[in-house]
Structure 1
Amino acid sequence: MSKYDEIRSFYDHEVNEALAGIACDPMMKALMNFTFPGKEEKTWLEEFKNVHSIKDFQTHFIAFTIRQILAKSSEGLTTSGFDQLDKNTPYLFISNHRDIVLDTSLLNLVLLETGHIMTASAIGDNLVHRKFLHVLAKLNRNFLVQRGLPLREQLKSSQLMSEYINELLHHEKRSVWIAQREGRTKNGNDATQQGVLKMLAMAAGDQTLTDYFKTLKIVPISISYEYDPTDSLKMPQLLAQHRDEQYIKGKNEDFNTMISGVIGQKKRIHIHAGQVIDTELDDIAAKIDNKNKQLQALAQIIDHSIIRNYKLWPTKFIAYDLLHHTDTYASQYSEQEKQLFVRRLEMRINPSDAVSKEYFLSMYANPLVNTMKLEGDSSI
C-alpha cells in the first residue's frame, strides 16, 4: 500500500489487468473505432495483451488517438520552445487551461515525438466519475485532484498532492503537468492562482520557498486554439456570473464538454514551452521577504510568460475589432476569416443578445487585450 493510492496513476505492473478490465466497454470500442477505423475489434483486443506499461499504452494507442483528433478536427499543431529543454530533465509544466482532455494530451504527444520525458498530469476527480474514464485517466498517467472536500480534508489532500508531485519530479524523475488555476479559463483571461503555488510549496520542508521552487524546474506552457470548440458551452457559466447567480453544472456537463473538446473544430493549435524559471526566483528572494508576496511575484512571472508566448490567431484580432466596432487589426486577418468567424458566432449564440455577444467576443479577444497590457501598448 502507498499513501498515494487514492490519487496516483497506475503502476506499470497494474496496467495490463486494468486495460483488460475496460477492453470490452462500449466506450473503449468507440475510442478504438475512432483511432483505428477499419481495424477489427479482435485485432486490437489481441494487441492489448502486449501492453504492460503506461508508455506502451500511450505510444501504441493514445498517441494515434490524438493524431486522429488533430487530423479530423484541426488544421494542425505547431510548437515552439521545446528545443530549449533538456530531454533527460523532468520539468513541472504549469499551463494555461482551455480544454479538459486536449491540453495535456497534445503536450504529451509533443513530448513523445520530440523525445522528452512525458508527464504525469493532474485531473479533477469530478471529471472521472464514470469507471471507464477513471481507469482510462490512470492509464494515461493522470493523478487525481480531489474536489469538493471540507476545509480540513482539503488541506490534507493538498499536502498529499504536493508530496506526490515532489515524489514524481525528484524521485521518479517524471515530468508533471498542472493547470495554472482550478478549472478551465472560461473568459480568455489566463491567470495563475496563488492557491496552486501554495499547494506546490507545501512539500518544501526546510528549504526556502524560492530554493524549493528552483528544484521544481517550472516551465510555463502557453496553449492556443484558433477556435475554442467549447466556446458556446462556457457561456451559461459566464452569463450566470454576469447576473450574479450561482452556477450549477448539469449532470453530464463535464462529459459533454470533454466530447465537444475532442470532436469540435479547433482550426490551428500552437503550444509554446517557456524558459525554465530560475534566476527570477533569486531576484524574488533578494527583494521580497514575505512568502505570500513571493508567491504573488512568482504567479506574475508565470502569467507574463504564458501571455507573452500565447499565439494570437486571427480570431483574437477579429473578435477585438467586432467587440469595439473598429478595424484596428484588419491587417491581421482576411475578409474570409472574418466572415467565417461571424458565421460561427451566429451559429453558437443568439447574436441579437447583446450580453451573450459581448461575452463570446471577449472570450476570444482577451488574450490580445492581455498582451497589449503586458507590452504597455495599444498595438501589436
Structure 2
Amino acid sequence: MSKFDEIRPFYDHEVNEALRGIARDPMMTALMGFTFPDVDKQVWREQFKNIHSISDFQHQFIAHTIRQILAKSSEGLTTSGFEKLDPNTPYLFVSNHRDIVLDTSLLNLVLLEKGFIMTSSAIGDNLVQKTFLHVLAKLNRNFLVQRGLSIREQLKSSQTMSEYIEQLLHVEKRSVWIAQREGRTKDGNDATQQGVLKMLAMAAGDLSLTDYFKTLKIVPISISYEYDPTDSLKMPQLLARHRDEEYIKGKDEDFMTMLSGVLGQKKRIHIHAGTVLDAELDDIAHLENKNKQLQAIAQMIDDSILQNYKLWPTKFIAYDLLHDTDTYASEYTEQEKQLFVRRLEMRIDPSDAVSKEFFLAMYANPLINKMKYGQNPGSNVSQ
C-alpha cells in the first residue's frame, strides 16, 4: 500500500471500474443529462465502458461539462499570461480561491485547450463526503486535503501531502493546482496563508527553502468572476465573524454551495497566469530565517494575484455604492449599475446596513487592494 493511497486520485487501471460503479447514480444521470441534454443515457453509459484513464474521462466527458457550464451560466471565459509558459513544463499553480469546483475546472479547461499539462488538484475531504462526489473527484485527478485532524495528525497529513505534490511535479511531471489559502475567500480579500507554504516546504529535504521553491515552478493564478454566484451564500459566515460568533455549517451547505457556483450566473470570467517565481526567490535567500522567507514568498504570490486580477464593472460599481461616490462612473454603464443594484436587493435585505456593506465590500475589495499598488485600476478593465 502506498503512503499516498488515502489522498491520491485513481490510477488509470482503476478508472473503468470506478466509473461503471457510479454510472447509474442519480447524480451522474443528472450531470450527464446537463452535459449532453439531447443524448439518451444509454449512449453515455455505453461509452463509459471504453473509458480507461482519467485523461479519457476528462477529454471525452468533463471538458464538455465545463463548456456547458460556461455556455449556460456565463458570458465567456478569457485568459492572459499563458503565452509566457511552456506547455510541456509541470507547474505548481497557486490560485486565489472563489469557487469550490470551478476555479480548478476552468483552469484545466484552459490548459487542455492550450495543449498544456493538466493539473492534479487539491480538494478538502469535507467537500466530498457523498460517495458519488468522492469518486467523481478522484476521477478528475483531485487529491484530498484532510480536514478536522488533531495537531499531530495534521503534521503527518501535511508531510504526506507535501511529499505527494513533490512527486507529482518532479516524478510524474504533472502540474498541480492548490488554493493560496484553506477555504474560499469570502470577503474579496485574496491573501496567501503561510501555512500552505510551510506545508509545501516540508518536502524540501537537503535543499534550502528558496532553492526548493524554485524547483516547484510556482505560477500565481488570478481568477475573477464578474458576478459571484455564491455571494449571498457567503454572507452568514461573514456576519457571524462580524458578531464574533461561531459559524456552524448546515448539513448540505457545501454541496448546495457547489451547485450554486456551477449553475449560478457569473457573467464574464477571466484567468491570468502570472510569471514563474524564480529570480525573486534569489533576492530573499539572504533573509535570516525561514519564517521571513515564507512571509516574503506569500507576499510575492499576493502581489501577482492582486495586480493581475481582472476588474469587472461590478467591482467599480460596488466601490462607488460603498463610498457613496461616482469616482469610477466612467468604468460602467448606468444599465450595469442598475442590474447590480437589483441583484443586491434580490440577494440580501437592503435595509440591513451591515449586510449591505459586507456584500458591497466583497465586490469592491479587489479594486481597493489593487489601488495599494499605485496602479490606475481603471486601466485594467480591457486587459
Same fold, judged at TM 0.5 (above): yes
1:10, 1:141 within 8 Å by CA — same for their partners in 2?
A: yes
Matched AA of 1:80: S
Alignment correspondent of 1:79:
79
Secondary structure, counterpart of 1:285 in structure 2: coil
Secondary structure in 1 matching 2:86: coil
- CA offsets 1:31-68 (integer angstroms, 9 cap, x no match): 00000001011100010011000000000000000000
Q: Separation in 1 of the partners of 2:150 and 2:87? A: 40
Answer yes or no: is 1:268 the counterpart of 2:260: no
Structure 1 residue 289: Cα displacement:
1.9
Tell me if structure 2 keeps the 8 A contact 1:229–1:265: yes
Give the structure 1 partner of residue 312 of structure 2.
Answer: 313
1:89-140 alpha-carbon deviations (Å, 9 max, x no partner): 0000000000000000000000000000000000000000000000000000
Displacement of 1:374: 2.0
Equivalent pair of 2:120/2:142 in contact (CA under 8 Å): yes
Which residue matches 1:47? 47
Q: Equivalences for 1:1-380 in 2 at 5 Å?
A: 1-286=1-286, 288-375=287-374
Equivalents in 2 of 1:222, 1:249: separation in Å? 27
Coordinate RMSD, CA, aligned = 0.9
Task: For residues 2-29 of structure 1, give each alpha carbon's deviation from its aligned partner in whole angstroms, at most 9, with x where no partner exists.
Answer: 1100000000010000000000000000
What secondary structure, in the 3-state scheme, does the structure 2 residue paired with 1:374 have? coil
For this pair of structures, how many residues does the alignment match?
379
Deviations 1:192-229 (A, max 9, x none): 00000000000000100000000000000000000000
Paired residues of 2:370 and 2:377 also in contact (CA < 8 A): no
> Match for 2:110: what amino acid?
V
Aligned amino acid, residue 248 of structure 1: I
* C-alpha spacing 1:57/1:316, structure 2 compared with 1 (3 Å): same
Query: CA, structure 1 residues 91+106, in 2 after alignment: closer, same or farther (shift >3 Å)?
Result: same
Report if the CA contact (8 A) 2:367-2:377 is conserved: no
Q: TM-score, normalising length from structure 1?
A: 0.99
Gap runs ≥5 in structure 1? none
In the TM superposition, residue 377 of structure 1 has moved relative to its aligned partner by 7.0
Give the whole-Å Cα distance in 2 for the aligned partners of 1:316 and 1:226. 8
| Structure 2 CA distance for aligned equivalents of residues 88 and 262 of structure 1 | 30
Deviation of the 1:290 alpha carbon: 1.0
* Partner-residue secondary structure (3-state), 1:247: coil
Letter matched to residue 342 of structure 1: V
**Distance across 2 between alignment mates of 1:335 and 1:372:** 23
Q: Indicate the SS of the match to 1:17.
A: helix
Partner SS for 2:79: strand
TM-score, normalised on structure 2? 0.98
Q: CA deviation at 1:375?
A: 2.0
Moved over 3 A (4+): 376-380
Secondary structure of 2:285 counterpart: helix
Secondary structure at the counterpart of residue 192 of structure 1: coil
Aligned-partner residue type, residue 356 of structure 1: S
- Write the deviation string for residues 304-335 of structure 1: whole angstroms up to 9, x where unpaired: 00000000000000000000000000000000
| Deviation at residue 379 of structure 1 after TM alignment | 7.3
User: What do residues 276-327 of structure 1 show as CA deviations (whole Å, max 9, x unaligned)?
Assistant: 00000000103x1210000000000000000000000000000000000000
Q: 1:350-379 CA deviation, whole Å, 9 max, x = no partner?
A: 000000000000000000000001227797
Aligned partners of 1:319 and 1:361 also within 8 Å: yes
Distance 2:372 2:5 in 1: 44
- How far 1:148 moved relative to its partner? 0.5
For 1:379 and 1:251, the matched residues in 2 are separated by 42
- SS of residue in 2 equivalent to 1:121: strand
Q: Distance in 1 between matches of 2:25 and 2:377?
A: 53
CA pair 223-245 structure 1, distance change in 2 beyond 3 A: same
Contact 2:331 2:378 in 1 (8 A): no
Separation in structure 2 between the aligned mates of residue 110 and residue 233 of structure 1, nearest angstrom: 27
